[in-house]
Amino acid sequence: MRRLRRKGIDTVKEAVAILRLILRDYRRGWTYRQGDCKRIRMTEELFERRVRFVVTLAKFHGADEETLRTIRKIVRYVLEHKRLPRYIKWRGKRIDIRSYLRGAYARKR
């Protein structure tokens, strides 16, 4: 993901990209454990914990209130429907998630 401000999840684009990775792990049924990289089963409980943790990370990394509100809406949608929403409303604009994620990539500074 492109770091627009500083390290961590402090933009909606970064949060959506992380949620997409969590959903990918949930669909394939396994993920890697943090620390020792052991392959583990992705359970419903683990999925919910990881999705909810995105909001906590956004708070910790200093996302503003409007960004947090939008991330919370997306997290609620993901928990309910097990997929990303097609569109989000962000700063008065309707944004297509697929086109939004095309610009999310990591680059060296």
pLDDT tens track for 68-99: 999 999 999 999 999 999 998 888 889 888 88
* Residue 91 falls inside a structural domain: yes
pTM, to two decimals: 0.84
Between the alpha carbon of residue 2 and those of residues 6, 30, 55, 88, the distances in Å are 10, 26, 19, 19
Residue 58: inside a domain: yes
Residue 82 forms part of a structural domain = yes
- Does the residue 7 lie in any domain? no
What's the domain count of the chain? 1
Q: Residue 18 sits in which domain range?
A: 12-102
Q: Does residue 70 lie in a domain region?
A: yes
The segments of the chain whose pLDDT lies below 70 read 1-6, 103-109
Q: Output the pLDDT for position 83.
A: 95
What pLDDT, on the 0 to 100 scale, is given for residue 107? 47
Q: Compute the distance between CA of residue 10 and CA of residue 29 in angstroms, rounded to an integer.
A: 28
In a domain, 90, yes or no: yes
pLDDT value at position 91? 82
Tokens of 103: 């610009």
In a domain, 6, yes or no: no
